[in-house]
Amino acid sequence: MEGLKREGVLSTLPSLSPCVKGIAVLLFLCAADMHPSHIRARFPDARFVDVAQYAGSLPGLTALDDVAVAGGEVWGILVRTEATEMDDEPMQLAVTLPDGEQTLATLATRPIDVADAVAVEAAVRYWELPPAYRARIIARDAAR
């Protein structure tokens, strides 16, 4: 995908606050903010790293609680970017990649990013997140 090239080497990324300019950070996105146009607008220098999952519910993102409860996890993507100012106090998460590797990432998804169910579903489909997770997202949206 243009502008979001896959990057590896998770172990070289520091787990620092995403507010220290000039430092590369790893961000976890898990809603409409996963869409490439949203990523390029908010984090222009971001590079895709991998898909990842977080076990459990995410504080402040109650719209995803039922999805997390039903399957035990929230799926999203990791992007590497230069540090940027975040809206609120950043939350560090231990996320798991498909190969089982774990890493720390900063939650960058905001409540506004989960508000548009159609946009969330489109982003989940775009990144081809696991079929069971996609089904839970679709079922949640159908129930609304």
Digit-coded pLDDT (tens) for 133-143:
888 888 877 76
Angle at 101 between CA 130 and CA 129, to 5 degrees: 15
Q: What is the pLDDT of residue 139?
A: 83
Q: What is the pLDDT of residue 17?
A: 46
Q: What are the CA-CA distances from residue 103 to residues 5, 9, 83, 92, 111 (Å)?
A: 19, 11, 17, 10, 23
pLDDT in tens, 97-118: 999 999 999 999 988 898 888 9
Q: What is the pLDDT of residue 136?
A: 84
**Tokens representing 108?**
């960058």
Q: Which domains, from first to last, does the chain contain?
A: 10-143 (3.10.490.10)
> How many other CB atoms are found less than 10 A from the CB of residue 64?
25
C-alpha 18/C-alpha 6 separation (Å) is 20
Is the confidence at residue 75, as pLDDT, over 60?
yes
Residue in this structure with the two tokens 């719209």, named with its chain if needed? 63
Q: What are the DSSP E strand ranges found in the chain?
A: 24-29, 47-55, 73-82, 91-96, 102-107
